[in-house]
Structure 1
Amino acid sequence: MKKLLILCGALAMSTLMTAQDLPEMTYDIDISQNLDTFFVTLSPASALDKSTNIYQFAATAPGTYQTMNLGRFVSSFRAFDKKGRELSVTRKSVNQFEIDKPHKLTKITYQMAETFDTQVEDFPVYLMCGSSIEEDHALINAHTIMGYFEGYQKSPLRISVKGKDNWKVGTALSRKDGYFLASNFDHAVDSPILMGELSFADTTIADTPVEIYTYSQQGKFDSKSLLTGMSDMLDATLQFLVKLPVDRYTFLYFFEPDPIGATGAWEHSYSSEYVLEEKEPTPEYMRSVTDIASHEFFHIVTPLNIHSEIVESFNFVSPTPSVHLWMYEGVTEWASNMLLYRGGVVQEEDYLQNAIAYKILVDEKYFDESWSLKKLSDESFNGGEASRQYANIYFRGSLVAGLLDIRLLELSGGQSGLRELMLKLIDQYGKGKPVSEKTFFDDLTAMTYPEIRDFFDQYILEANPLPHEEYLAKIGLKLTRGETGFSVTKMEEMDASQKMLFEAWSKNL
């Protein structure tokens, strides 16, 4: 109830002030004093409203699908007026500090422990969504270091980071007079910063500049070799989408041997961030790095452009699941594999076994098939068994997207599949024009065929067994379940319908 009241208060404040009316917030972050601690000073450009007495740290962040409670890492929180006198501060909850007489406040200071080296009992923060300071680098995700005053989430921000003068800096944020500029708190969270002894490479895809910054603790990886390995993927993505829905993009890579915690990647509107184990850069491992990048890069479509109002106006106070996780992660995983196949980067046999057969095996053997894609979304923030089942969104979610592609191709006579539907959605929706959390399934049905509503009901909202054999047979493929593994192969003989649909399904772009 307490969180609900605070949320309502924040919404009420937003109706009184537009973003243009809100004062600029200046964050000064010092990472030079201690290798495990961020020293933060926040100074509003003008006086706050008298009712703005809550300073909020994030409980979660977009695209993480986990509870974080970053307030756990805060210490020495203090508030001051213009004469340097301390204002009374009360800790209201794990993520909230209440400040007495906020209209007299001129600055707050606090310390924030880095998440990499700080042990917590529950809800560990994924490494790629966390923060790190060492002698030769700093990884900054804004939600792990910064908070915001209730009602001022949309205030414009200036952010300075005091590190080492010779460090390279990788970020999608612009910079002016020594400050990174963000239009609001959401924009800052959407724009990680990697600083330190980094390598750099860049290229242009169509008219889109692409930059790569890499920190490699042991020097086994560099940006130029990563760019070389990713070039075909980037070209295939362009072919798949026809045009890229961004005007620039930045890859941030962080390689560390024997990382403690969950490694992986995190997508953002104009960048993606990777914390990966620093193994030997064998062709196999380099390919896995490219596969991960393909998934994250495709997030420029969903949820970063196509998303519901839950993503458009993100609630950092109380984690709120979206029923459309099937699209955000499942469709993205399917597309990131399919674009490599249709773009000629991945061979047919490889795609059939790794993107289809292996995913079917994992879904059926290692996860609870009674969990629908909707349930995976509903439970995503809850930890425990939900955390273990969540990873199936990348397997079952991708498989359902693949079945949807086949069904759309069948109903359209091979003319239009899931790719073409995504291109329509890009044109119809985007930032500032979210899809409806409640009606999107009906909207998609109206854009396609009445039969698609039944597909959504059976395989996304409910957990009915996936009809792999039936759907694969439509495009002339056969699934074989064996004791040691599953395989998908082309049928020796196809009828005219199967040949037509297989050609439409596998066509090069």
Structure 2
Amino acid sequence: MKTIKCLAILFIAVCTTYAQENLHYTINLNDQTDDTFKVLLSVNSLSQEDSIYQFASTAPGTYQIEDIGRFVKNFEVFDKNGKQLSTLKKSVNQYRISEPSKVSTISYEVSDTWDTPVKVNPVYKMAGSSLETDHALINAHCMIGFPITRQAEAVSMELIYPENWVVGTALNKNDNGYFVANSFDHLIDSPILLGNLTQESVIIGNTKIEVYTYSKTGLIKSEMLLNDLKDLLIAAEKFLKGYPVDRYTFLFHFEDETVGAWEHSYSSEYVYQESEYTEAFSNSIVSVVAHEFFHIVTPLNIHSEIIEQFNFTNPTPSVHLWLYEGVTEWASGIMQLRGNILTLEELLAEYRQKLIYNDYFDPNYSLQDLALTSFTPKGAQQYSNIYMKGAIIAALLDIRLLELSKGKQGLRELILQLSAKYGKDKAFSEENFFEEIVQMTHPEIKEFIDKYIVEADPLPIQEYFDKIGITYVKNKKVKKESGKEETIKHYFEVNNDATKKQKKLRELWQSNN
């Protein structure tokens, strides 16, 4: 505690002098005492309305309760003379400051979420924080809180770390060498991996792609990953007709456990167990990257007001989870097909697996239900079906749009039109978005949305795939060589006897043109 007080006094002048933004954070990674991040916030001024200091209850894209306040200790506030001001812990994620107008610095410690056991709601590792002697993972919401009215305010952040460490992030620096973000949301949207990392970069189209990698024993290098990602990145650039960002950063962490990945607007991070870098391992990474990378469109360029300024106090679900995750998962497959990374048979095999997994979930749970209950225990049990049922429904919507427009407008074209209309700085209406989609497409799409997104009607898989000359049978009975009969669930097969009309629509379905 004495160390924190001394740090507060020491940095009062330094941070106030050099911070151009009103909120300037300093995180000391050199002091790893108690496996905690030492955080200091210097402010130029706070109003009486800023008596509440808020830590994140959740974060965009996690769809889980995180309650970061559980990991905070030694929360202290000082005036410009170093005198401590009184505070009160109001709730798990909020501290009340008695005299906010006098505040000059706020200091506290935050435990590493990876190594701090909790009884309920453990934080996903890819959305958490880790502090080790040779590296650190910073997801800012795990350590950075904010005065309650200042969420939209620009911030700067200084990291103190070993000189030989490499830093990977999509954040930019100001003239003082501090990382800057135009809001708390922007800071949270920009994870940082630093330590003994390898790094590589390449230009694709007009975009700089960066890869930073931590590998526990140095087994996996950024060069290896980038080489295997290039075809996918080129396919994505063609699918999107150019990236909507001029720089994108991949952060890879290979250590003791495979957990998953977390998307961001200008970057994504991946937590995998370090192992021999086989072709199968590489393919699994490419498959996950295909999904996460597409989030540069949804929700970066297509999002509702709920996503634009996230509610870090009370988890607020968006009904359009089907778009953010279901459509993204669909896009990860179809753009690989159109980029000649996946064969048609391989994509159909993926659809089959998704339908097999879908069978384990509640068939009466619609995508809208799934979205609105995503933060509840019941919704959490159904949540992963957004990547199964959500992707299949997006595939059906794509076929339906192509059919109605005679091949001129599929789901990809609709996404590009929406991206051009909105972009990262303009949100669509959470309430009216379905109606807008209908206006931009065809009246028949309202029935599709009502039946398969809002409600949970049985999916017309056989009917729709037949439109593109692909046979689907829910339970296909076949005879084995032994003469015994077996049932193949969710059987797909390309129909070689398809009509010219079916073949033409299939050709358009497989094409980026």
Coarse TM-score class (shorter-chain normalised): over 0.9
Amino acid at match of 1:491: N
Structure 1 gap segments, 5+ residues each:
1-21
Structure 2 residue corresponding to 1:359, chosen from 354, 361, 370:
354
Alignment of 1:258-273 (within 5 A): 258=257, 263-273=259-269
Shift in Å, 1:338: 0.3
Structure 2 residue corresponding to 1:98, chosen from 93, 96, 99:
96
Shift in Å, 1:178: 3.4
Structure 2 residue corresponding to 1:313, chosen from 304, 309, 313:
309
Q: Judge conservation of contact 2:238–2:512 (CA < 8 Å) in 1.
A: no
Structure 2 residue corresponding to 1:379, chosen from 358, 373, 377:
373
Q: Judge conservation of contact 1:50–1:102 (CA < 8 Å) in 2.
A: yes
Looking at structure 2, the residues matched to 149 and 282 of structure 1 have their Cα atoms a distance apart, in angstroms, of: 47
Report runs of 4+ in structure 1 exceeding 6 Å deviation.
none
Q: Judge conservation of contact 2:257–2:271 (CA < 8 Å) in 1.
A: no
Cα root mean square deviation, aligned:
1.4
- 1:334-373, Cα deviation, whole Å (9 max, x unpaired): 011100001111112111111x111111112x21111110
Looking at structure 2, the residues matched to 349 and 500 of structure 1 have their Cα atoms a distance apart, in angstroms, of: 18
Q: Judge conservation of contact 1:321–1:378 (CA < 8 Å) in 2.
A: yes
Looking at structure 2, the residues matched to 463 and 448 of structure 1 have their Cα atoms a distance apart, in angstroms, of: 22
Looking at structure 2, the residues matched to 476 and 200 of structure 1 have their Cα atoms a distance apart, in angstroms, of: 45
Report the counterpart of residue 492 of structure 1 in structure 2: 496
Secondary structure of 2:104's counterpart equals strand
Shift in Å, 1:188: 0.7
Q: Judge conservation of contact 1:344–1:508 (CA < 8 Å) in 2.
A: no
Residue 214, structure 1, aligned to residue 206, structure 2 = no
Shift in Å, 1:484: 5.4
Structure 2 residue corresponding to 1:328, chosen from 324, 331, 340:
324
Alignment of 1:104-503 (within 5 A): 104-176=102-174, 177-258=176-257, 263-354=259-350, 356-364=351-359, 366-382=360-376, 384-480=377-473, 481-482=475-476, 483=487, 485-503=489-507
Shift in Å, 1:501: 1.2
Amino acid at match of 1:505: W
Q: Judge conservation of contact 2:49–2:149 (CA < 8 Å) in 1.
A: no
Looking at structure 2, the residues matched to 84 and 508 of structure 1 have their Cα atoms a distance apart, in angstroms, of: 62
Report the counterpart of residue 6 of structure 2 in structure 1: none
Looking at structure 2, the residues matched to 447 and 393 of structure 1 have their Cα atoms a distance apart, in angstroms, of: 24
Report the counterpart of residue 14 of structure 2 in structure 1: none
Looking at structure 1, the residues matched to 367 and 401 of structure 2 have their Cα atoms a distance apart, in angstroms, of: 19
Q: Judge conservation of contact 1:257–1:279 (CA < 8 Å) in 2.
A: no
Q: Judge conservation of contact 2:29–2:38 (CA < 8 Å) in 1.
A: yes
Report the counterpart of residue 86 of structure 1 in structure 2: 84
Secondary structure of 1:209's counterpart equals strand
Looking at structure 2, the residues matched to 173 and 508 of structure 1 have their Cα atoms a distance apart, in angstroms, of: 32
Bigger Cα displacement from structure 2, 30-39 vs 245-254: 30-39
Shift in Å, 1:224: 0.5
Shift in Å, 1:508: 5.5
Instruction: Calculate the TM-score normalised by the size of structure 1.
Output: 0.92
Instruction: Calculate the TM-score normalised by the size of structure 2.
Output: 0.92
Shift in Å, 1:412: 1.1
Amino acid at match of 2:493: T
User: How many percent identity over aligned positions?
Assistant: 49
Amino acid at match of 1:241: L
Q: Judge conservation of contact 1:116–1:130 (CA < 8 Å) in 2.
A: yes
Shift in Å, 1:299: 0.5
Amino acid at match of 1:193: I
Looking at structure 1, the residues matched to 326 and 273 of structure 2 have their Cα atoms a distance apart, in angstroms, of: 24
Report the counterpart of residue 27 of structure 1 in structure 2: 25
Q: Judge conservation of contact 1:307–1:435 (CA < 8 Å) in 2.
A: yes
Shift in Å, 1:496: 2.5
Secondary structure of 1:323's counterpart equals coil
Looking at structure 2, the residues matched to 413 and 174 of structure 1 have their Cα atoms a distance apart, in angstroms, of: 45
Residue 42, structure 1, aligned to residue 41, structure 2 = yes
Structure 2 gap segments, 5+ residues each:
1-19, 477-486
Q: Judge conservation of contact 1:50–1:103 (CA < 8 Å) in 2.
A: yes
Report the counterpart of residue 482 of structure 2 in structure 1: none
Shift in Å, 1:122: 1.1
Looking at structure 1, the residues matched to 401 and 129 of structure 2 have their Cα atoms a distance apart, in angstroms, of: 43
- 1:311-337, Cα deviation, whole Å (9 max, x unpaired): 112111111111110000000000111
Looking at structure 1, the residues matched to 512 and 72 of structure 2 have their Cα atoms a distance apart, in angstroms, of: 52
Looking at structure 2, the residues matched to 83 and 508 of structure 1 have their Cα atoms a distance apart, in angstroms, of: 63
Residue 64, structure 1, aligned to residue 67, structure 2 = no
Bigger Cα displacement from structure 2, 290-299 vs 176-185: 176-185
- 1:123-142, Cα deviation, whole Å (9 max, x unpaired): 11111110000111000011
Shift in Å, 1:219: 2.1
Q: How many residues align?
A: 481
Q: Judge conservation of contact 2:257–2:272 (CA < 8 Å) in 1.
A: no
Looking at structure 2, the residues matched to 338 and 220 of structure 1 have their Cα atoms a distance apart, in angstroms, of: 32
Q: Judge conservation of contact 1:42–1:109 (CA < 8 Å) in 2.
A: yes
Report the counterpart of residue 76 of structure 1 in structure 2: 74
Looking at structure 2, the residues matched to 419 and 292 of structure 1 have their Cα atoms a distance apart, in angstroms, of: 19
Q: Judge conservation of contact 1:357–1:479 (CA < 8 Å) in 2.
A: no
